[in-house]
Structure 1
Amino acid sequence: MDRPKRKTGLLLVIIGATLWGLGGTVSQKLFQQYSVDVNWLVAIRLLIAGLLLLTVQYLLKDRAQIIGVWKKRRTAFPLIIFGLLGMLAVQYTYMASIHHGNAAVATLLQYLAPIMIIFYLLLRRQMILTRKDILTVSLALGGCFLLLTNGSISQLAVPPLAIIWGVLSGVALAFYTLYAVPLLKQFDSLVIVGWAMFIGGLALSTFHPPWQMGDVSLTLEGYIYLGFVILFGTMIAFWFYIESLQSLLPKETSLLGSLEPLAAVLATVFWLQEPFGLFQWIGTACIIGMIFMLALGKESSSKRERKNKQKPLKAS
């Protein structure tokens, strides 16, 4: 493989995953410092980021796909379902978990989605439980317990609402990941995710118009934070992640995507100065270790991955 292209791909995925983690932390700043409404932030984030991704597709890739996805019912209807029950559900539950807790916990709980997918496939008898599966599930559940309790059964270290929304975010991400596969086999990721974001944002806008901010008054700093969440934490993060697939294997991008929860945790602790106990750090290490194990354990040869390259989706 061309070494310069590979280096570029590594740089893109590292930047993309890091921006995803930082985007959640900056969203937390908007909630805490400016009392921004979750519904408003999710709506405006999805609308603008979705339009920007579709613009990238129009300018740099096959523009015919932007309209082509709507020409057949078998792709148009699933796209609407994906936009509402996949994209909107993931974005809203994730942001609600941040609003009631913090970005670090919300991101780590969302990353329980692979474990939920394992349980789903076991129930559908589409996979056999292996020792490695048992180890990854144990790491996830044990890490989650330590993260949420800080080692004390009698008292939760995280608000209950943050936990509920975070777990729902994991469920939504599991659905989001599984449901999108048929669409991704027919259309570019930018088309599917761009439209899904726009559909989700449009649906939420009918209840919470993005032009109605309520009593919120953003300063210049606040608008900079908002711009970062939309442009860097959503649009550019996703674009860079997808572009990295042009020079890296999906396994490599998934592995380096583990930087997202790490970035969220570090930014939450050191920038927002949220307290993290010793056992919470151990729990965080367990969950990140689980993510690395899953990313490293994908079974497929390099040639087959190159031929049937599956573009992984991101929701954060």
Structure 2
Amino acid sequence: MKTSRQLGLVMIITGATFWGLSGPMIQWFFQQTNMSSSDFLVIRLLLAGITMLGYLAFVKKQNILAIWKHKSHSIQLVLFSIIGMLGAQYTFIEALQYSNAVTATLFQFLGPVLITIYVSVQGRSFPSRRQFLAVVAAIAGTYFLITNGSIESIVLSKQAILFGILTAVGFAFYTIQPAPLIKKWGTLIIVGWGMLLGGIVLLIFNHSLTPQYFTDTLTMSTFAMLLVIIASGTLSFVLYIGSLKYLTATETGILSSIEPFVAAIVSVIWLKEVFGAYQLLGGLFIIIAVIFLTTPDKKLKRRIAMEQSSEG
């Protein structure tokens, strides 16, 4: 049990680091090309999904179609693919394009607070004092992040705010919803199908991808960066969702706290991003909100135990 928990901790910390790095890399990619977010996601999801499922089918000799024989599991997988995998990635990239990598990551970081609220509602008990303070800190942080201290001069566009909020919801959804499927079928097959189906759904509404389009859009450096983004993002999802086998959704959400730190450091050093003082304060408040949740009291420990029993 102790070894499994340590493996889960390594997986979530590594996955969060890769995701923190991927934000600035994606921001750089869009600064260097005119590729749309939907085009980018079609390529990213299809390539990653095909690679992962191909590895399972031809190297591991697994029956990747077995899950489709179970109607309820198939429905859950489709929901995860469209709402969780595609929804979370699309809203994150849109938030990033309308703001920047750090802001999008901080919005995503509100997910653990939503998860905690969800667990409280599911457990039908009032949040503890620490949880209440975490929610207050998260709300205050979001206010400063959006307004930079002045409601009369909102620094983020309506699109950035909308997609930022949807990013937080998507984060919470893909953390909680696939946990039972992963315990039954394993991480790679759920993430692989999630990416492939998400990419197919997006491709249906996207007809701009042609060989000429790639030639006109990508250079050697941007193509290389695209491959690195796909590899790191896929590994991030696999490690993040895979950690749910060994940790609870609440713990996994909390331990992803290094994402905004990594994104901020890389953005400032590499992309020369500059943030307002109140925006930095807002980011700090959001991080503090999650830190409040890293030292659970007896009430929260009981809820985590309830979550573990319900997932088992």
TM-score range, shorter chain: 0.7 to 0.9
> Which consecutive residues of structure 1, in runs of 5 or more, have no partner in the other structure?
312-316
> How far apart are the structure 1 equivalents of 2:108 and 2:258?
14
CA RMSD of aligned residues (A): 3.3
> 1:116-175 deviations in whole A, cap 9, x for unaligned?
344455666733222122111011111111112221222122222111111111122233
Contact 1:114 1:174 in 2 (8 A): yes
Contact 1:53 1:239 in 2 (8 A): no
> How far apart are the structure 1 equivalents of 2:238 and 2:59?
12
Farther off after superposition, 80-89 or 90-99: 80-89
> How far apart are the structure 2 equivalents of 1:274 and 1:69?
45
Q: Which amino acid aligns with 1:25?
A: P
Deviation of 1:178 after TM superposition, in Å, equals 3.3
> How far apart are the structure 2 equivalents of 1:10 and 1:118?
19
* Secondary structure of 2:65 counterpart: helix
Q: Which amino acid aligns with 1:229?
A: I
> How far apart are the structure 2 equivalents of 1:263 and 1:104?
9
> How far apart are the structure 2 equivalents of 1:77 and 1:243?
20
- Match among 147, 150, 153 for residue 152 of structure 1: 150
> How far apart are the structure 2 equivalents of 1:104 and 1:198?
27
1:38 maps to: 37
Report the count of equivalent residues: 304
1:89 maps to: 87
> 1:224-271 deviations in whole A, cap 9, x for unaligned?
211111011x1222344466678x755776554211121112222222
* Secondary structure of 2:151 counterpart: coil
Contact 1:49 1:231 in 2 (8 A): yes
Residue 154 to residue 300, structure 1, CA distance change in 2 (3 Å): same
1:314 maps to: none
> How far apart are the structure 2 equivalents of 1:258 and 1:60?
34
- Match among 209, 212, 216 for residue 211 of structure 1: 209
Residue 61 to residue 87, structure 1, CA distance change in 2 (3 Å): same
**Is residue 265 of structure 1 aligned with residue 264 of structure 2?**
yes
Please show how residues 109-188 of structure 1 align to structure 2 within 5 Å.
109-120=107-118, 126-188=124-186
Contact 1:28 1:99 in 2 (8 A): yes
Deviation of 1:292 after TM superposition, in Å, equals 3.0
Please show how residues 1-316 of structure 1 align to structure 2 within 5 Å.
13-58=12-57, 63-64=62-63, 66-120=64-118, 126-209=124-207, 211-212=209-210, 213=213, 216-232=216-232, 234-241=233-240, 254-297=253-296, 299=301
Which structure shows the higher helix fraction?
A: 2
Residue 57 to residue 126, structure 1, CA distance change in 2 (3 Å): farther
> How far apart are the structure 1 equivalents of 2:255 and 2:201?
33
> Which consecutive residues of structure 2, in runs of 5 or more, have no partner in the other structure?
none
> How far apart are the structure 2 equivalents of 1:300 and 1:125?
9
Contact 2:81 2:197 in 1 (8 A): yes
Residue 105 to residue 76, structure 1, CA distance change in 2 (3 Å): same
> How far apart are the structure 2 equivalents of 1:125 and 1:236?
32
Residue 186 to residue 2, structure 1, CA distance change in 2 (3 Å): closer
> How far apart are the structure 2 equivalents of 1:300 and 1:56?
40
Residue 97 to residue 254, structure 1, CA distance change in 2 (3 Å): closer
Residue 122 to residue 292, structure 1, CA distance change in 2 (3 Å): closer
Residue 90 to residue 239, structure 1, CA distance change in 2 (3 Å): closer
Q: Which amino acid aligns with 2:74?
A: A
Farther off after superposition, 54-63 or 257-266: 54-63
